[in-house]
Chains A and B, each alone.
Chain A
Amino acid sequence: MAVGTQYIAEQPKLRTSSKVLGAIAIAALLAAPFFFYPVLLMSILCFALFACAFNLLIGYVGLLSFGHAAFFGGAAYFTAHAAKVWGWEPLAAILLGVAGAAVMGLLMGFLAIRRQGIYFAMITLALSQMFAFICLQVPFTHGEDGIQGVPRGYLLGILDLNEPLTMYYVTLAIFLFGFFIIWRIVNSPFGNILKAIRENERRAVSLGYRVDRYKLGAFVMSAALAGLAGGTKAIVFQFATLTDVNWQMSGEVILMTLLGGIGTLIGPVVGASLVIALQKYFAAWNFPVTVLIGIIFVICVLLFRRGIVGEILELMKRRQKGAA
C-alpha cells in the first residue's frame, strides 16, 4: 500500500499543474490535424489508446499480458464485419467490437489470472495465438486478404466520417473517452486496490480483498478498451487484417508501453506516438525501420528503464525533493 498512500499525499500538488497541462494537451490535439497528416494522427490515437489499455493491466495490476493483440485485432474484425456485411452504423459497430473484446477478455482472463508472472504471460500468448489461428481459418475474416473496403459511413446517421477532419475529431473523442475511463479507474478505490495487489498480493488477500475478482475485472476492462481502439482503427483504416491479431502486435504494444513508461498515464501515449511516427517517417529510409526501433528499444532499456515519461517524472520528483 506504500504507493497508494504516497500517491494520495501527492495528489493536491499535482492537481492544478496537471489540469493546465491537460488543457494544453487537449488544445494541441484539437489543433493537430492542421499541422499533421490526419490519418497518421488517427493511427497514433488508436495505438495510444491500445497501449493505455495494456498499461492499465501491466502498470497498475502488474500483469504482463502477451495476448492483447487478440482483443485489438478481434474487435477490428467484429467491427469491420458488422459495418461492412451487416451495414451497421459505425458507432454501433465499434460497440460490438468492444463487447466482443470484453467477452474474449472474460474468457481469457478467467483462465489466465489463476497464474502469475511468466505463466500468466504464456497463457495469454497461447490463447491469443489460438485466436489468431481461428482468424486465419474462419471464412468471415477472409484469411490473409482481410476484410477490406469497410465503409466509414455516417456516425449516428448524421456525421459523414468520410471527411478526414470529422473522422479525426470522432477518433479523438473516442480516445479521450477511453483515456478518461482509464484515468477514472486508476484514481478510484478500485484502482487503489489494484495497485495494492500489484505491490503485495498476499497482503491484499489478508486484508480481505478477493484478489481474483479484481484481477479479472481489470483484465476485462483492459480488453474492452483495447477492443475500443481496435474497432475504431477498423473504421479509420477501413479494413481489418491478420496483422492486428498476430503475436507481433502484442509485442509491439509492450514496446510502446515500455518506451513511454510503464505505470504512467501519459507514457503509453508517448510510446505509441514514437513507434507509429518512426514506422511512418522512416519507411522511406534506406535503413530498415524494424532495426531502428530495435536499437531505440535497447537504448531505452539500458539508459532509462522507467521509459521516457517515467524518467521525466522521476527527475521532477527528485528536483522537488531537492527544492524542499
Chain B
Amino acid sequence: MRILNKLLFALSCTALASSAYAQQASDGVVKIGILNDQSGVYADFGGKSSVEAARMAVQDYGGKVLGVPVEIVSADHQNKPDVAASIARQWYDTEKVDAIMELTTSSVALAVQGLSKDKKKITMTTGAATTDLTGKQCSPYGFHWAYDTHALAVGTGGALVENGGNKWFFLTADYAFGYSLEDQTSKFVKSKGGQVVGAVRHPLAATDYSSFLLQAQSSGANVIGMANAGLDTANAIKQAAEFGITQGGTRLAALLFTLAEVKGLGLKAAQGLTLTEGWYWDQSDENRAFAKKFMDKTGRMPNMIHMGTYSSVLQYLKAVEKAGTDATEPVAKLLHEMPVQDIFAKNGKVLPNGRMVYDMYLFQVKKPEESKSDWDMYKQLAKIPGDSAYMKVADSGCQVTQ
C-alpha cells in the first residue's frame, strides 16, 4: 500500500509536470494529434510512417501557421477504443490539441469522432473504412479523407467489370464489415452488367481457405472478390497462388488492400491481384519525387493512408491560415468550402457531410518479371472519378448537412 501511494505520488508529479509544460506551450502553438495503431496489425498500413507523413506536411508548409509553430503529437491506440478515447480526451482537455487525424479502425474512429463532436474539435479520419463516419454518425467537425467502403466497392466492383471481370464469386468474412463490402460491391457489379455467381462466408481469422477457394474455382467465376481485410485477405491470396488459381485465368480482387500489404505479401503471391487505391508513387514525376523523400525518412513507399494523413494535415493548416484562427467552427467551415489541391488529391472537394471526394484508381499487381524495382508493383487499369466513387450526401443518411 505504501508503495502504491509512493507510486501514485511519483506519477502525479510527472503528470503535473507534463501538463504544466503543455499549458505553457499551448499559448502559441497549433497542435495536431496523430492517433493510430503503431504496434498491432495495422502498424504497416499507417503506423509510425503516418506520423512521419504528418511531420513532412508541417515541414512542407513551413513549420509555422499564423506565425506560431505547428506541433505534431502522436500515440499508439493499440486498437483499443477505450485507450484511444482516453488519449483523445486528455489531448483535448489538458494538452490543447486542436485536431486529431488518422484514427485507424472503425470502432476507434467512430468513438473519437463522437467525442470530438461533443468537444467541438476537428477530426480527419484516414485510417478507417466505414461510411458511417459521414453517414448516420457524421459530425459537423468530422472529415473522412482517404477512402471508404463505398469507394472501394465502386472501384473494384464497378471498374473491374468494365475491364472484363464480369462473373463474380465472393469470399466474404463472416461479419458486418464483410457483408457490407459484399453487398455494396455486388450492387456495382450488377449495375455494370456483371453477374454474381456465388458467395461463401469464411469465419474471421480463418487459416485454411482451400475449400472456399475450390468452391470459387468450380463456380465458373472469372473474378474472386475478397470481401475481407488484413491478414484474412493476405492468407486467401497466398493460398490462391498455391492453388494456381490466378494462373488459370481467374482474377483475384481485394477490396481492402494497400501497397504496404502487397509489399508484405510479395509479388510472387500477389501477382495479378486487382485492388483500388487513391494514390501510387509511380503515377507522375511529382509523386515519384515525393515518394523518394518519404522513402528516405521511413524506408518505405507511402500508400493512400500515409498520403491521406499528409494531405489532411496540409489542408488543415491551410484552413487555419485562411481562417486566421485555430478555433474549430471557422476552420471546419473553411475545410468544407476549400478545394483540395495537393500531391494527394487533385481537384478534391469536401461534401457537406465531411466526405472528401477525389479520384480513385484501379490497380493490378505486376508479375515479378514485370517489376523493375523493389517497389514497382502496380499497373494502373482505370481511373474512377471521385463523383462516382463516393456516396452522394443524400444517400449517406447524414443529418448535419448544412
The interface of chain A, by Cβ under 8 A from chain B, is 21, 24-25, 28, 32, 35-37, 39-40, 43, 133, 136-137, 142-146, 148-149, 233, 237-239, 241-243, 266, 270, 273, 277, 279-280, 283-286, 288-291, 308, 312
A148 interface neighbour in B79, B90, B110, Cβ under 8 Å: B110
A39 B78 Cβ-Cβ under 8 A: no
Q: Which residues of B contact A146 (CB under 8 A)?
A: 81, 107, 110-111
B176 A284 Cβ-Cβ under 8 A: no
A288 B39 Cβ-Cβ under 8 A: yes
Q: Separation in Å of the A302 CB from the closest CB of chain B?
A: 20
Rounded to whole angstroms, the CA-CA distance of A146 and B105 in the bound complex is 11
Q: Pick 12 A–B contacts, CB within 8 A, sort by A.
A: A24-B1, A39-B85, A143-B176, A144-B106, A148-B107, A148-B137, A239-B81, A266-B4, A270-B4, A279-B83, A283-B83, A284-B76
B196 within 8 A of A: no
Proximity bits, B60-94, A CB within 8 Å = 1, else 0: 00000000000001111111111101110110011
B1 A284 Cβ-Cβ under 8 A: no
Told that A37-B93, A37-B94, A283-B76 touch, could you supply 14 new A-B pairs with CB distance under 8 A? Answer: A39-B86, A136-B204, A142-B176, A144-B105, A144-B177, A145-B107, A148-B107, A233-B82, A237-B81, A238-B114, A279-B80, A284-B75, A288-B76, A290-B40
B214 within 8 A of A: no
Rounded to whole angstroms, the CA-CA distance of A288 and B41 in the bound complex is 12
A283 B5 Cβ-Cβ under 8 A: no
B175 within 8 A of A: yes
The interface of chain B, by Cβ under 8 A from chain A, is 1, 3-5, 8, 11-12, 15-16, 38-40, 48, 73-83, 85-87, 89-90, 93-94, 105-107, 110-111, 114-115, 130, 132, 137, 174-177, 203-204
Given contacts A39-B90, A137-B175, A144-B107, contact A277 B82 (CB under 8 A): no
A237 interface neighbour in B77, B82, B174, Cβ under 8 Å: B82
Rounded to whole angstroms, the CA-CA distance of A32 and B15 in the bound complex is 12
Rounded to whole angstroms, the CA-CA distance of A191 and B223 in the bound complex is 62
Rounded to whole angstroms, the CA-CA distance of A35 and B111 in the bound complex is 26
Rounded to whole angstroms, the CA-CA distance of A290 and B137 in the bound complex is 31
Given contacts A238-B115, A290-B78, contact A36 B15 (CB under 8 A): yes
Rounded to whole angstroms, the CA-CA distance of A142 and B4 in the bound complex is 40
Rounded to whole angstroms, the CA-CA distance of A7 and B76 in the bound complex is 44
Rounded to whole angstroms, the CA-CA distance of A279 and B86 in the bound complex is 11
Q: Separation in Å of the B152 CB from the closest CB of chain A?
A: 16
A28 B5 Cβ-Cβ under 8 A: yes
A283 B87 Cβ-Cβ under 8 A: yes
**B8 (CB) vs chain A CBs: closest residue:** A28
Q: Separation in Å of the B148 CB from the closest CB of chain A?
A: 13
Majority secondary structure, B binding face = helix
Rounded to whole angstroms, the CA-CA distance of A21 and B82 in the bound complex is 31
A145 interface neighbour in B82, B174, B176, Cβ under 8 Å: B176
Rounded to whole angstroms, the CA-CA distance of A237 and B196 in the bound complex is 42
Q: Which residues of B contact A239 (CB under 8 A)?
A: 81, 85, 107, 110-111, 114
Rounded to whole angstroms, the CA-CA distance of A133 and B73 in the bound complex is 36
A283 B114 Cβ-Cβ under 8 A: no
Ranked nearest first, the 10 interchain pairs of A and B with the lowest CB-CB distance are A143-B176, A288-B39, A283-B75, A35-B12, A241-B107, A146-B107, A148-B110, A284-B75, A39-B86, A136-B175
B74 A284 Cβ-Cβ under 8 A: yes
Given contacts A35-B16, A40-B86, contact A145 B106 (CB under 8 A): yes
Rounded to whole angstroms, the CA-CA distance of A137 and B178 in the bound complex is 11
Rounded to whole angstroms, the CA-CA distance of A270 and B3 in the bound complex is 10
Q: Separation in Å of the B17 CB from the closest CB of chain A?
A: 12
Rounded to whole angstroms, the CA-CA distance of A312 and B2 in the bound complex is 10
Rounded to whole angstroms, the CA-CA distance of A217 and B85 in the bound complex is 35
B81 A137 Cβ-Cβ under 8 A: no
**A312 (CB) vs chain B CBs: closest residue:** B3
Rounded to whole angstroms, the CA-CA distance of A277 and B74 in the bound complex is 17
Q: Which residues of B contact A25 (CB under 8 A)?
A: 1, 4
Given contacts A242-B107, A243-B81, A284-B73, contact A144 B86 (CB under 8 A): no
Q: Separation in Å of the A79 CB from the closest CB of chain B?
A: 14
Rounded to whole angstroms, the CA-CA distance of A312 and B137 in the bound complex is 49
Q: Separation in Å of the B277 CB from the closest CB of chain A?
A: 22
Q: Which residues of A contact B89 (CB under 8 A)?
A: 37, 39
Q: Separation in Å of the A193 CB from the closest CB of chain B?
A: 28
Rounded to whole angstroms, the CA-CA distance of A145 and B129 in the bound complex is 10
B110 interface neighbour in A145, A273, A277, Cβ under 8 Å: A145
Rounded to whole angstroms, the CA-CA distance of A36 and B89 in the bound complex is 13
Q: Which residues of A contact B11 (CB under 8 A)?
A: 36, 277
Q: Which residues of A contact B4 (CB under 8 A)?
A: 25, 266, 270, 273
A289 B39 Cβ-Cβ under 8 A: yes
Rounded to whole angstroms, the CA-CA distance of A43 and B107 in the bound complex is 18
Rounded to whole angstroms, the CA-CA distance of A96 and B360 in the bound complex is 47
**A143 (CB) vs chain B CBs: closest residue:** B176
Q: Which residues of A contact B137 (CB under 8 A)?
A: 148-149
Q: Which residues of B contact A144 (CB under 8 A)?
A: 105-107, 175-177
Rounded to whole angstroms, the CA-CA distance of A25 and B203 in the bound complex is 47
B107 A289 Cβ-Cβ under 8 A: no
Q: Which residues of A contact B177 (CB under 8 A)?
A: 143-144
B12 A36 Cβ-Cβ under 8 A: yes
Rounded to whole angstroms, the CA-CA distance of A316 and B19 in the bound complex is 37
Rounded to whole angstroms, the CA-CA distance of A270 and B48 in the bound complex is 31
Rounded to whole angstroms, the CA-CA distance of A108 and B78 in the bound complex is 29
Rounded to whole angstroms, the CA-CA distance of A277 and B367 in the bound complex is 48
Given contacts A25-B1, A136-B204, A288-B76, contact A280 B110 (CB under 8 A): no
Rounded to whole angstroms, the CA-CA distance of A286 and B5 in the bound complex is 28
B1 A243 Cβ-Cβ under 8 A: no
Q: Which residues of B contact A238 (CB under 8 A)?
A: 85, 111, 114-115
A243 B79 Cβ-Cβ under 8 A: yes
Q: Separation in Å of the A295 CB from the closest CB of chain B?
A: 13
Rounded to whole angstroms, the CA-CA distance of A242 and B105 in the bound complex is 12
Give the interface centre of B4, B15, B87, B115 by most chain A CB atoms within 10 Å.
B4
Rounded to whole angstroms, the CA-CA distance of A36 and B7 in the bound complex is 13
Q: Which residues of A contact B175 (CB under 8 A)?
A: 136-137, 143-144
Rounded to whole angstroms, the CA-CA distance of A143 and B5 in the bound complex is 41
Rounded to whole angstroms, the CA-CA distance of A237 and B85 in the bound complex is 7
A279 interface neighbour in B78, B110, B132, B204, Cβ under 8 Å: B78
